[in-house]
């Protein structure tokens, strides 16, 4: 039981970290020098979507594990 509780805590913590992440961090510091600003926007959007999906999956798995019936 303690292992499951710790796993759930860690999964929720990882989801919180993903939610707090700034998608613009994936862009290089000098991104304004790039000629293709659209590429930078696509990178930031992809990073935000990936973090959101990962966070959601972690929370869904944690919720499913919480709802499991207790084994006797």
Q: What is the pLDDT of residues 4-28, one digit of tens each?
A: 889 999 999 999 999 998 877 766 6
- pLDDT for position 60: 94
Burial class (CB in 10 A: 0-12, 13-18, 19+), 50: middle
Spatial distance between the Cα atoms of 57 and 40, rounded to a whole number of angstroms? 26
Judged against a pLDDT cut of 80, whether residue 68 lies above it is answered with: no
The mean pLDDT of the chain is: 81
Q: How confident is the model at residue 30 (pLDDT cuts 50, 70, 90)?
A: low
Spatial distance between the Cα atoms of 45 and 6, rounded to a whole number of angstroms? 32
């Amino acid at each position: 039981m303690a292992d499951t509780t710790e796993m759930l805590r860690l999964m929720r913590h990882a989801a919180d970290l993903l939610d707090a992440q700034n998608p613009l961090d994936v862009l290089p510091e000098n991104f304004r020098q790039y000629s293709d600003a659209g590429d930078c926007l696509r990178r930031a959007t992809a990073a935000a979507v990936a973090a959101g999906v990962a966070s959601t999956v972690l929370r869904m798995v944690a919720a499913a594990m919480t709802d499991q019936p207790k084994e006797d």
